[in-house]
Amino acid sequence: MNRNQYDNDISTWSPQGRIYQVEYALEAVKQGSAAVGLRSKTHAILLALKRSSGELASYQNKLIRIDDHLGIAIAGLTSDARVLSNFMRTEAMKSKIMYNRPLPVYRIVSAIGDKSQVNTQNYGRRPYGVGLLVIGVDETGPHLYETSPSGNFLEYYAISIGGRSQSAKTYLEHNYESFADADVDELIVHGLRALHATLQQDKELNTLNCSIGIVGQGQKFEMIQDVDLQRYLDMLGPQGTGDQAAASQGEAPMDTE
């Protein structure tokens, strides 16, 4: 058997300068289903693909509201995400009570970064197995951040995490320059296209396996789920195989109907 000597715990380096346990935690994020985030000058949105364990089961929630101005999408271990979202809610509440100020987005994201990093340096601990997309609005405008189990966090124009998220990333890289001035509907259609790119060949987006989160300047965090999604799926148009990629190259997103 090909056993790795250096991956037994978090406090062991490999001779190549790697910490395997952290890398395994990053893999846990990729096991989760995809989540996509986009940002314009006024809004930030999240889209996520929900999974169900079978015909008889419900779909697992992927979006969590933190506060009126803050929300997250998760990919990876849901139970770890609950720990982090509880922490975020507590911090948001503290900021409101102590300073009468909605929690600035950067502060909560860096606090999560610090929390995650501690778990990668101390013997006997394990890293979180979840990656987050954090969207929020504060006095400096809308923001979109990605956090990961390693303690890294980065701000993005648009980003995707989770299973098969590379295809969504490719779509976003081709189109992100038009996001800044896009309105909410255009942003959502772009997001749905990116999310659609992560699907397997025979799968389609529908009102059950998809959810959207929106926050904007003067607009509280809001989740769009179930029947309310139909309007946006209609805008997306027929979810044919090659057509999506063709439509993505420059054509106005609202013309797809």
Of the pair 35, 103, the CB lying nearest another protein is at 103
**How many residues bind another protein, per CB under 8 A?**
11
d(CA 77, CA 73): 12
**Site for another protein contains 177 (CB under 8 A):** no
41 binds another protein (CB under 8 A): no
**Site for another protein (CB under 8 A): which residue of 61, 65, 104, 225?**
104
Nearer CB in complex with another protein: 111/184: 111
Question: Do the beta carbons of residue 116 and residue 151 sit within 8 Å?
Answer: yes
* Residue 218 interacting with another protein (CB under 8 A): no
> Residues in the chain, how many?
257
CA 247 to chain centre: 24
Which residue from 227, 232, 225, 219 is spatially nearest to 187, judged by alpha carbons? 232
CA dist., res. 151 & res. 77, Å (int) = 16
Site string for another protein, 59-98 (x = CB under 8 A): --------------------------------------xx
The helix or strand, by DSSP H or E, that contains position 189, with its residue range, turns out to be helix 184-197
For residue 139, state whether it binds another protein (rule: CB under 8 A): yes
CB of 139 to another protein, least distance (A): 6
Hey, which residues does 72 pair with through a beta bridge?
A: 64, 134
Cβ pair 120, 10 in contact under 8 A: yes
Q: Which of 107, 125, 203, 231 binds another protein (CB under 8 A)?
A: 107
Residue 222 binds another protein (CB under 8 A)? no
Binding site for another protein (CB under 8 A): 97-101, 104, 106-107, 138-140
